[in-house]
Amino acid sequence: MKVPLRDTEKNGDRYLVRYYMEGFRQPQRDNVYDALIDLSNRVCIDFKEVLSINKVDNIIHMKGPSMGASCSMYIGRNSDGSPQTMKLGRGCIQLGIVQHEMLHALGMDHEHNRPDRDVQWLNIEVNSQLEICLIPIF
């Protein structure tokens, strides 16, 4: 099982995920901020923009519309600890899409890709040691 937030900073009950933005104009930046604030209000994660990046930073590198047209994000962290590249091209700077790609960055996959998707009945055991962080369903 992947633990997407294992190396992130934690402050009390909340995790901190850092991101760097490149190739966005100000109105696009504002839309991304709004999407992340909305997501942050629904989960136990805070998002913080950083103003510089290097090859070993374990952060999310958002590439905006001036750097391409696609919307994409791999699931979870890079195994070598390098920045995760998130592409938010033209047409992608919308609340739902930004949150969708951010949840991929945090390790969430599409429901139809769940390994238990074909299981008819699920028994869910709650581990009291495990902190539950609620993630909205999109």
Active-site positions read: 101
Q: Please give the Cα distance from 133 to 118 (Å, whole number).
A: 25
Q: If DSSP states are collapsed to H, E and C, what string results for 3-39?
A: CCCCCCEEECCEEEEEEEEECCCHHHHHHHHHHHHHH
